[in-house]
Amino acid sequence: MRLLIISDTHIPRRARTLPDQVLAEVERADVVVHAGDWCDLDSFTDLQARARRLIGVHGNNDGPDLRARLPEVARAEVEGVRLAVVHEIGPAAGREKRMAERFGDVDVLVFGHSHIPWDTTAPTGLRLLNPGSPTDRRRQPHHTYLTATAADGRLRDVRLHRVDRR
């Protein structure tokens, strides 16, 4: 099962729409995971209509309309992989330990907020993933997103992609 993992799209503040490259990934994905900061209800409803399955949360920049539709934390199982999604998880210092304690019942935690791509594994085995942002790189060198596959209870082929901004 193919996953597309995105966050911090900030539409329409940072882009009018998702980049074509990301929209093509939506079409290929079995599951789209969005870790918050949509900023626009239309971008949520558009992605919801395009995605086969959407797992998403609201972020700190999302207003009441999005908060009414999306949880702060989402939990799902994808091909046996126990997944949690949350937008904001605090400072980088001590992150793995803190999140392993808070999300000890899942295999993978997807988060956003920082716009900084992140892929680490806590000593407990919890994998932490942040896809960066496909539309607002802030101080990062590139706009980014992640893809992965899930099968037999394992997340495989996790890959960070640069968005071609031509």
User: What is the rounded distance in angstroms from the CA atom of residue 143 to the CA atom of residue 78?
Assistant: 26
Band of the pLDDT at 166, cuts 50, 70, 90?
low
**Segment (H or E) for 66:** helix 64-67
Return the structure tokens found at 80: 């046996």
CA atoms lying within 13 Å on the CB side of residue 40: 15
Radius of gyration from C-alpha coordinates of the chain: 14
Decide: pTM greater than 0.85: yes
Candidates 39, 95, 96; CA nearest to 70 is: 39
Q: What is the tens place of the pLDDT at every residue in 25-64?
A: 999 999 999 999 999 999 999 999 999 999 999 999 999 9
The conformational region for residue 19 under phi > 0 = left, psi -120 to 50 = alpha, else beta, is: beta
